[in-house]
Amino acid sequence: MEHKASVLENLADVRAMIKRHKRNDALFATLGLICLMLGLMTLMLLFWQLIADGHPKFNLDFLTEFPSRRAGRAGLLSAWVGSLLVMSVTFLTAVPVGVAAGLYLEEYAPKNWFTDLIEINVSNLAGVPSIIYGLLALGLFVYMLDFGQSILTAGLTLGLLILPIVIVSTREAIRAIPVSIREAAYGVGATKWQVVYDHVFKYSYGGILTGIIIGMARALGETAPIITIGALTFIAFLPPSPITTEPPFLNFEWLSSGFTVMPIQMFNWLSRPDHAFHVNAAATGALIIVVTLLMNGAAIWLRYKIRKNIKW
Amino acid sequence: MATVTTAIKAEARDLNFFYSNGARALKGISMPLYENKITALIGPSGCGKSTFLRCFNRMHDLYPGNKYQGEIVMHPDNTNVLDSGVDPIEVRMRISMVFQKPNPFPKSIYENVAYGLRVRGENNKRIMDDKVEEALKGAALWNEVKDRLHDLAFNLSGGQQQRLCIARALATDPEIMLFDEPTSALDPIATANIEELMVELRSKLTILVVTHNMQQAARVSDYTAYMYLGELIEYDDTDKIFTNPGRKETEDYITGKFG
């Protein structure tokens, strides 16, 4: 083909070529949109199905009644209280441990093959199937440490499960802080801890919080490890209240109490032959999704709110 | 101009520096910093001038594997700041630094200036207020910010942010202040302000400034050192360097034949 020098001399050819190239643009944009819709629509459809099936149970009684043999009267009370208590144990263990571990790994740990190994393993742990955590917990918490099939065991298990998520998101949040800010702090004579506490932690807690909430949302829906450690599926009582009217006003008996959580209750209802219970299961599923979406929404909002005043 | 009777505040003695990858970034540098004078470091990119500057407050200690060889002695106490027995934090309390890009903390103007004092355990509000005001005045920023001390530092303009960083470095009464290309991210007016400020600060402390801008070195400094490939090629009175350099390499660089 003869070499032609300028665009002007070959205007028609050049325009045809640009048009051809732009077709690829349109092609990919369409393909991408279809893929996105596939994922999104599936989720929406599922959610819609749950709402359609479960809507007769969208009332306050559903939240204030214990499970029952009669589907119409059965409620979620013991399950959502159980979820709440288990999540508090998870929060209280995974957050301090995960954040401290992340801060240590990022700021204090020497960089050598050993910490590299730990790094790789922490990331890998996030991908371990949750039932493996259940087996570990069964051996460690239930049998070895004799915590029983309790709220404490479940909370610790889910804590372990989300620990890698908390550690990884803590480290990512810390890494977003530019070197220049650290150097500025070291430059006026700050110690490592002063830099970590006054700056690194304070500027990254939006991101850390996001990781924590996303981890908690994941823990909320986990079923497999909880079944493995032996949660009850039919429970018509509440654990002892953590707060009492008499001094010292705190009570830790609930930690060793039997329990159930929302996904297990849902699983239980779903496995019954009586279709009336499936309505309850659908309503529970919808509730779990709503709470999870709310938590993720809160995470996004918090991150936006906290990051608003920080421009690097 | 400089006189021989001026006291030496600090001096580098046969200073070598090695990065963790083994690269030798400084080769046997010896030169003085005269008290209450401005010394400028010039030279092409990568010549080691910033590396040299960052030896003075042991900034290289923050990254593992870096190695100093030789001495930087501070007077009158004859402390070798590079000695492994000397705590780098103590050094940074005596020698403060202003960075290339303004790097205020995402905190209020007040808290930015006060941070150096907080690090030293100062909690007395009155002392702190006084010090913050004094530092902001010293950095020629007080009049612009006195009514909004508790605003976020990010709301200031680039030049104001850099003066805030100078105030932060000033608040703790350092003996030496290091400037690492302090105006490279600023417009000409802000640059002129910072240069004027440096000349004013000279009466209070000793200044070492890295600059890629030869006119700036000529305008503000009393002494100039020309570095190339990690070596100190020439050190002399600024006037002498810019009018009658002793070395051919210096002259080539200054006249723009190279660099």
Query: What's the pLDDT tens digit per position in A155-182?
Result: 899 999 999 999 999 999 999 899 999 9
For β-strands B8-18 and B95-98, DSSP reports them as: unpaired
Q: Nearest Cα to B56, choosing from B201, B163, B174?
A: B174
Give a yes or no: residue A126 inside a domain. yes
Residue B136, pLDDT score: 93
Is residue A20 domain-shared with residue A120, that is, in the same domain? no
CB spacing of B103 vs A180 below 8 angstroms:
yes
Is residue A134 domain-shared with residue A248, that is, in the same domain? yes
Q: Report CA torsion sign: B229, B232, B38, B257.
A: negative
Read off the pLDDT of each residue in B173-201 and give the average, rounded to a whole number.
91
- Smallest Cβ–Cβ distance between A188 and the set B62, B96, B106 belongs to B96
CB spacing of A180 vs B90 below 8 angstroms:
no
Give a yes or no: residue A40 inside a domain. yes
Is residue A198 domain-shared with residue A226, that is, in the same domain? yes
- Smallest Cβ–Cβ distance between A110 and the set B64, B106, B119 belongs to B64
Higher-confidence residue: A291 or A310?
A291
Is residue A33 domain-shared with residue A104, that is, in the same domain? no
Give a yes or no: residue A312 inside a domain. no
- Whether A4 has a pLDDT exceeding 70, the answer reads no
* Contact yes or no for A195/A185 (Cβ under 8 A): yes
Report how far residue B174's alpha carbon sits from residue B207's, in angstroms, rounded to the nearest whole number. 10
Q: What percent of chain B lies above the pLDDT cut of 70?
A: 98
Q: For residue A124, give its domain range.
A: 58-307
- Alpha-helical regions (H) of chain B: 49-56, 88-94, 109-119, 125-138, 142-145, 158-170, 188-201, 214-220, 238-243, 248-254
Is residue A101 domain-shared with residue A152, that is, in the same domain? yes
Is residue A131 domain-shared with residue A237, that is, in the same domain? yes
Residue A147, pLDDT score: 82
Q: What is the DSSP code (8-state) at residue B213?
A: -
User: Which CATH number among 3.40.50.300, 3.30.365.10, 3.40.50.1980, 3.40.50.2000 corresponds to the domain B8-103+173-254?
Assistant: 3.40.50.300
- Whether A289 has a pLDDT exceeding 70, the answer reads yes
CB spacing of B154 vs A309 below 8 angstroms:
yes
Higher-confidence residue: B113 or A245?
B113
Higher-confidence residue: B96 or A237?
B96
Confidence grade of residue B259 (pLDDT, cut at 50, 70, 90): low
Residue B52, pLDDT score: 95
Q: Nearest Cα to B210, choosing from B44, B94, B92, B64?
A: B44
* Contact yes or no for B207/B127 (Cβ under 8 A): no
* Contact yes or no for A164/A122 (Cβ under 8 A): yes
pTM of the full predicted structure? 0.80
Using CA coordinates, name the residue in chain A closest to B113. A188
Interface mutation target, options A111, A177, A180, A188, chain B, most CBs of B under 10 Å = A188
Give a yes or no: residue A3 inside a domain. no
Q: Which residues of A touch B (CB under 8 A)?
A: 110-111, 178, 180-191, 194, 198-199, 203, 309-311
Residue A51, pLDDT score: 87
Note the Cα B174 to chain centre separation in Å. Answer: 11
Q: How close does chain B come to A104, measured CA to CA in Å?
A: 16
Question: Which residues make beta-bridge pairs with B208?
Answer: B39, B178
CB spacing of A184 vs B105 below 8 angstroms:
yes
Chain A residues touching B64 at Cβ < 8 A: 110-111
Higher-confidence residue: A31 or A71?
A31
Structure tokens at A230: 């032996």
Is residue A50 domain-shared with residue A66, that is, in the same domain? no
- Whether A297 has a pLDDT exceeding 50, the answer reads yes
- Smallest Cβ–Cβ distance between B115 and the set A111, A180, A188 belongs to A188
- Whether B1 has a pLDDT exceeding 50, the answer reads no
Read off the pLDDT of each residue in B43-48 and give the average, rounded to a whole number.
90
Give a yes or no: residue A219 inside a domain. yes
Confidence grade of residue A244 (pLDDT, cut at 50, 70, 90): low
Give a yes or no: residue A277 inside a domain. yes
Is residue A147 domain-shared with residue A255, that is, in the same domain? yes
Interface mutation target, options B50, B89, B157, chain A, most CBs of A under 10 Å = B89
Q: How close does chain A come to B163, measured CA to CA in Å?
A: 14
- Smallest Cβ–Cβ distance between A188 and the set B62, B101, B119 belongs to B119
* Contact yes or no for A162/A218 (Cβ under 8 A): yes
Q: Which residues of B touch A (CB under 8 A)?
A: 57, 59, 62, 64, 89-90, 92-93, 96-97, 99, 101, 103-106, 115-116, 118-120, 152, 154, 165, 168-169, 172
Give a yes or no: residue A19 inside a domain. yes
- Within 10 angstroms of residue B251's Cβ, the number of other Cβ atoms is 16
Is residue A28 domain-shared with residue A164, that is, in the same domain? no
Chain B residues touching A188 at Cβ < 8 A: 92-93, 96, 115-116, 119, 168-169, 172
Using CA coordinates, name the residue in chain B closest to A108. B62
CB spacing of A111 vs B93 below 8 angstroms:
no
Is residue A165 domain-shared with residue A28, that is, in the same domain? no
Report how far residue B132's alpha carbon sits from residue B115's, in angstroms, rounded to the nearest whole number. 10
Q: Nearest Cα to A287, choosing from A250, A262, A256, A258?
A: A262
- Whether B234 has a pLDDT exceeding 90, the answer reads yes
Read off the pLDDT of each residue in A126-140 and give the average, rounded to a whole number.
86
Structure tokens at A71: 């589907």
- Whether A41 has a pLDDT exceeding 50, the answer reads yes
The mean of the pLDDT values for chain A is 84
Confidence grade of residue B2 (pLDDT, cut at 50, 70, 90): very low
ipTM score:
0.90
Q: Mind listing the pLDDT tens digit for each residue in A197-242? A: 999 988 888 888 888 988 888 888 887 788 888 777 667 677 777 7
Is residue A50 domain-shared with residue A92, that is, in the same domain? no
Number of domains composing chain A: 2
CB spacing of A185 vs B105 below 8 angstroms:
yes
Q: Is A77 exposed, middle or buried (0-12, 13-18, 19+ CB in 10 A)?
A: buried
CB spacing of B168 vs A194 below 8 angstroms:
no
* Contact yes or no for B183/B99 (Cβ under 8 A): no
